[in-house]
Amino acid sequence: MVLLVLLLIHGIGLTIATLVIDTNPSLAGMTDLAPGSHVAFYVVTNCLLAVYILVLVWLICTKRRAAIVHNYLYCATSIGCLVAWNVLGMKSSIGTVIDSLPSVVGIVYFANSTRVKRTLRRPS
């Protein structure tokens, strides 16, 4: 869950930074960040991922078994967004690979952890 909170903070920080740099590209030594539609897609998808993290944290905190499936969905969605951002030029290839690692680790951990399956129970 700590990783999810860190991902939430990271995502919100990147979203704010994108909006600031889009408003004033000279702060990053640029003349233009990207087309407005690409920036909008990046910001909206980052915000949706942040909301999904909050839902996932709630599911984990309330020990819902649905957190397992939603973790898989979040991780797959996150990787999909990373690839889309890369295609749109909003993320480098190496950045895409590095930022995909927490999702890959999350999938493997939730798939193999007996602790996760034991802790996250079916609702009573």
pLDDT in tens, 4-42: 899 899 989 989 988 998 888 888 777 777 788 888 999
How many domains in the chain? 1
Residue 91: domain span: 2-119
Q: What percent of the chain has pLDDT over 90?
A: 55
14 located within any domain? yes
How far is Cα 3 from Cα 68, in angstroms, rounded to an integer? 15
Q: 102: Cβ–Cβ under 8 A, 6 or more apart, which residues?
A: 3, 7, 78
Band of pLDDT at residue 119, cut at 50, 70 and 90: confident
Residue type, 70: H
**Mean per-residue pLDDT, 55-61:** 93
Q: State the distance between the two ends of the chain, measured CA to CA, in whole angstroms.
A: 23
pLDDT at 124 over 70: no
Phi, psi of 77 (to 5 degrees): -65, -40
22 located within any domain? yes
Are residues 85 and 27 in contact, defined by beta-carbon separation less than 8 angstroms?
Answer: no
| The predicted structure's pLDDT at residue 75 | 96
| The predicted structure's pLDDT at residue 117 | 83
| The predicted structure's pLDDT at residue 112 | 92
| The predicted structure's pLDDT at residue 51 | 96
Of residues 23 and 49, the one with the higher pLDDT is: 49
124 located within any domain? no
CA within 13 Å, CB half, 75: 19
pLDDT at 94 over 60: yes
**Mean per-residue pLDDT, 50-69:** 92
38 located within any domain? yes
